Structure 1
Amino acid sequence: MSVPATDPAVYAEYESKWSSLPDTEEAWLARAREVSEVLAKDAAQRDQENKSPRAEVALLKHAGLTKLLGPKKYGGGEQPWSVGYKAIREVAKADGSIGMLLGYHLLWSTTANVVGTPEQADRTSQWIISNNYFVGGAVNPRDSDLKIVSDGDDIVFTGNKFFNTGGVVSDLTVLEGVLDGTQDHIFALVETRQPGIQFAHNWNNIGLRLTESGGVKIDNVRAPWANALGWDPASKQPREDTLKIAFPTLLLPTIQLVFSNFYLGIALGSLEFASKYTTTATRAWPFGGDNKESATDEFYILERYGNFFAHLRATEALADRAGEQLSSLYARYQNDKAALTPRTRGEVAEWVASVKIVSTDVGLRVTSGVFEVTGARATASKVGLDRFWRDIRVHTLHDPVAYKNREVGRYALLNEVPEPSWYT
C-alpha cells in the first residue's frame, strides 16, 4: 500500500555535513539542537500535511542520533541514557512526533541489552549500529498478545496490534508475544520489510501525527530461536539467570522516562515558540485601566511566563536527576545483573514515576496556558501553536497518570516499591 511520505532527499545535505559523530555529551546535545532547529523550520506545516516521516527519520540517521547509545566498537556514541533523554528532549522541543520516534528507537534498539543475553546484546547492537537501522516496535500490552509457535530452529509470530510506533518507517521491528502452551513472553527483532508485516496505515489522531502509531497485522513472521531475547535456543527455555532477577524489568522505567522527556521537550518547545510570538505579535490589552505600551509590559503576561518557566525548570531538574539515577543502575549492574535487588530497582522506578506525574501535569498546563499569553490570533492554524498541546494530550493518555500518583503515594506513605508490570 502506497501512502504519502516525506522525501529523504530534502535533508540529503546533512549526511555529509554530519559525517562524523560527536564525542562528548555537550557535542551530542549540540547535534540534537541542530536537528531541532532544522525540524522547527516547517514543523507546523509537516504536522498539518501528516505524511509518513521518512525524511525525518533520515535526518535522525544523518545526525547520528540513532546511534547515540550504541557501542563505539560498532560505530556508536556509547553515551549513557542520561544523555539520550536530554537528546530526546531537544528534538521534541521542535517536533514532538520526531522526539517520540527517537525515544522509542533508543528504547527498542537497546532492548537486547536489558532482556537478552550478553551474546544477544552484542550481536543485536552490531546489527543495528553498523547498518544505522531505525527500530520500531509492535508491543502494546493492552492488545491480545501475539501468538508464538516453535517451528524447528525458528519461532513464528501471528496476531494483530492496534498500536505500533514507528513501524512504517523502520528497518527493524521489535515483536513480543507469548509462546503457545505457556505463559512465557518472548521479545525478538525482525526485519520490517517483509510480507508478513502488514501495516494498517490508520494513524490519524489529533496529535503526534508523524509517529506512524497505527495498527499492524503480524502474519507468520519468523525469527530464529537464537534471536529470542533471554532464551536458550538449544533447550528452547527461558534462561534461568533472566527469570529470577530484577534487571530485565528495567525496560519499563526506561521507557516511562522516555515518555516524560518528550513531554517535557514538547512543553519547553511550546514556551519558546509562544515567547517568540508574544514578543513579535501579541498586543497589549487597551481596556484594563492600567494600559501598557507593549504586551511584554503586561503584568499578567510576565507573571504567566515566569510561573511556567519556573515549573518547567523544576521539572527539567527532576528529569535529569531521574535520568542519572537510572543511568547509574545500568552502569553498575550491566555486567552483574543478578546483583540488582527489587528494592533498588523499585526506588529508581519511583523517581521515574515522579517525573511522569510532574511532566504530565506541568506539560498539559503549559501547552494549554500559552494561549493566555499569546492572544486570540495565536489560535490560527497557520501559527501552529496548538500542535504542542495536541501532541502532549495524546500521549499522556498512554497510561493513566492517576495510577502513577497512587503508586508514588504508596511509596511515600507506606514505603512500598511497586511490583514490576508492563507500565511500572
Structure 2
Amino acid sequence: MTTTEAPAAASPAGTHPSPPADPDSPAPTWTAHPTTTEGWLERAQEVSDLLAADAVARDRANRSPFREVELLKSAGLLTLLGPREFGGGGQTWETAYTAVRIVARGDGSIGQLLAYHFLWFWTAELVGTDEQRAAFARSATEGNWLIGGAVNPRDDDLTVTDEGEELVFTGRKSFSTGGVVSDVTILEGVLEGTGDHVFTAVPTRQEGIDFAGDWDNLGQRLTESGSVRITDVRVPWADALGYVDKQFHGLVYATLNVPAIQLVFTNFYLGIAQGALERAAAYTREKTRAWPFGGDDKASADEEWYILEGYGQLASKLWADEALIDRTGATISEVLHAPREELTEQRRGEIAVQVAASKLRIAEDGLEVTSKIFELTGARASSNSVGLDIYWRNLRTHSLHDPLPYKKREVGEYALAGRIPEPTWYT
C-alpha cells in the first residue's frame, strides 16, 4: 500500500471561494496552494469560514461529509505535512496543530477529520522503516488522500494472520473515524499467536471493508466514526509498517503516536471552544437585550456588568489555554521532526505530561465556555436555528474519548514525584 495510488482530488480552479447555495454542488476550489506558513494558516481560515457559514444546517442534516472532504482536498490542507518535492506544504506539526484548531472553529467535526488525517499521515514516520516512510509520504501527498483509521485500541477483536508472504486482517473495530469518506484506512491488529501489533495502510474502497453506518452520537456527527467490519483484507508483509523479515524494529519515537494524537484532540477542543465564544459574542452584540429589571438599567447588552464579567472570565481562560497548548505544540513538533533515534524515554515522558496538562485544561475550560455562553446570550439564543448547542455537543462527545482523571493523575505524579507516565495506548 505504500506505493498504491488512491483517487486524487480534482485539479484546483478559482480563488477565494464562497459557499454555493446548493449543498450538492461541487466544493469550492483554489488556483494554487500556499507557499508559506502564514499562507497555510490563512487557507485554513478560509476553509473555516466556509464551513461556519452553513455548519448548523449540515449538522442537522447529518450527511456523510463527502463535500466537506473535497473542500479540504481542494484547499490543499490534506497535504500540509507532505514533502514539498511531492507537491506538499512541507510544514511542521506546529503549523498542522494550528490549522486543525482554526478549521475546528468553523466545524468541529471537520476539524477532527483533518486532525486524525494528520496523525494517520504520520503513521509511517512513527513506526515504518526508512523505505516505507519515503514511499508512503510520496503516495499520500501526490494522491491527496484523506486517511482514516480503524485503530481503536480497546477493541482486541481484529486479528492478523501470517499466511506466508501475506498478512490477513479479520475482525471488527467499534470506531473508525473517517469511515466511508476516506481514501485510505490505517488498520491495526494483533498478530495471531503473539502480542505484537501490526499497522498497515489499505485502500478504503474494497470488498473486505464494510462500514456499518452506525455513527449516531450526540456530537461530532459528521466524522464518520462508526464501526467497521474487516473481512480477509490481505496485505503483503512488506506493507507491515516497521517490520523487517517479520520482526518489528521500533524506537521510542514510535510511542509518540499517543501524545501526538492527544494533542490533536486538544487543538480541536480549543478550536471548538473558540468558535463557541466567537459565535456567542456576535449574537450578544447583535441580538441580546439588556435586562430591564435590575435597578441598574443599561442601554445595550454589551454594557451589562455580568455579561462583561462573563466574557472576561471565559476569554481569559481560553487565552491561557491557548498559550499552554501553543507551547506544548512547539515542543512536540520539534521532537517529531528531529532524528527518530535521538528521542529518549525521559523526554518522551515529559512531553506526554505537557500534553496531558494541555488536554485536561481545555477539556474543562471548553466545557465551561460551551455551556456558559447560553447565560451570556439569553433565552432566545437557545433556539435550534441559532445552533449554539453544536459546540457543547461536539466537545462533550469527544472529551469522553478517555477519562480525564487519568490525565490529572499523570500530571500529578510528575508534579509531586517527578515520575513520567509509562507509554500505553492512551498515555
CA distance in 2, matches of 1:8, 1:169: 16
Determine if the alignment matches structure 1 residue 394 to structure 2 residue 397.
yes
The amino acid that maps onto 2:397 is: V
Instruction: Judge conservation of contact 1:8–1:54 (CA < 8 Å) in 2.
Output: no
Instruction: Judge conservation of contact 1:8–1:56 (CA < 8 Å) in 2.
Output: no
2:214 to 202, 224, 229: 202
- Per-residue deviation, 1:364: 0.3
CA distance in 2, matches of 1:401, 1:143: 20
Q: Please list the CA deviations of residues 77-132 of structure 1 after superposition, one character each: whole Å capped at 9, or x if unmatched.
A: 11110000000000000100000000000110111001111110111111111010
Instruction: Judge conservation of contact 2:209–2:233 (CA < 8 Å) in 1.
Output: yes
Tell me, which stretches of 5 or more residues in structure 2 are unaligned? 1-20
2:330 to 324, 331, 354: 324
Determine if the alignment matches structure 1 residue 371 to structure 2 residue 382.
no
TM-score (norm 1): 0.94
The amino acid that maps onto 2:260 is: T
Q: Please list the CA deviations of residues 359-397 of structure 1 after superposition, one character each: whole Å capped at 9, or x if unmatched.
A: 101110000110010011111111100000000000000
2:204 to 159, 175, 192: 192
Q: How many matched pairs?
A: 407
- Computed over aligned residues only, the root mean square deviation of the Cα atoms, in angstroms, reads 1.2
2:281 to 269, 275, 288: 275
Tell me, which stretches of 5 or more residues in structure 1 are unaligned? 1-5
The amino acid that maps onto 1:290 is: D
Q: How does 1:4-403 map to 2 (within 5 A)?
A: 10-12=25-27, 14-15=28-29, 18-232=30-244, 235-239=245-249, 242=250, 245-333=251-339, 337-403=340-406
The amino acid that maps onto 1:318 is: L
- Per-residue deviation, 1:7: 8.7
CA distance in 2, matches of 1:8, 1:75: 29
The amino acid that maps onto 1:416 is: R
| Structure 2 residue matching 1:190: 3-state secondary structure | strand
CA distance in 1, matches of 2:24, 2:289: 40
1:3 alignment counterpart? none
CA distance in 1, matches of 2:384, 2:407: 34
Determine if the alignment matches structure 1 residue 416 to structure 2 residue 419.
yes
Instruction: Judge conservation of contact 2:156–2:190 (CA < 8 Å) in 1.
Output: no
The amino acid that maps onto 1:418 is: P
CA distance in 2, matches of 1:115, 1:200: 29
Instruction: Judge conservation of contact 2:171–2:231 (CA < 8 Å) in 1.
Output: yes
CA distance in 2, matches of 1:390, 1:8: 23
CA distance in 1, matches of 2:138, 2:23: 24
Q: Please list the CA deviations of residues 300-348 of structure 1 after superposition, one character each: whole Å capped at 9, or x if unmatched.
A: 0000111111110111111110010001112322xxx222110011111
The amino acid that maps onto 1:274 is: A
CA distance in 2, matches of 1:9, 1:290: 51
Q: Please list the CA deviations of residues 45-85 of structure 1 after superposition, one character each: whole Å capped at 9, or x if unmatched.
A: 00000000000000000000000001111111111100000
Q: Please list the CA deviations of residues 184-221 of structure 1 after superposition, one character each: whole Å capped at 9, or x if unmatched.
A: 00000000000100000011111000001101000011
2:14 alignment counterpart? none
State, as a whole percentage, how many aligned pairs show the same letter: 55
Instruction: Judge conservation of contact 2:55–2:107 (CA < 8 Å) in 1.
Output: yes
Give every structure 1 segment of 4 or more consecutive aligned residues whose post-TM-superposition deviation is greater than 4 Å.
6-9
CA distance in 1, matches of 2:144, 2:239: 19
- Per-residue deviation, 1:150: 1.4
| Structure 2 residue matching 1:272: 3-state secondary structure | helix
The amino acid that maps onto 1:346 is: G
CA distance in 2, matches of 1:11, 1:43: 17
Instruction: Judge conservation of contact 1:145–1:176 (CA < 8 Å) in 2.
Output: no
The amino acid that maps onto 2:353 is: E
The amino acid that maps onto 1:184 is: D
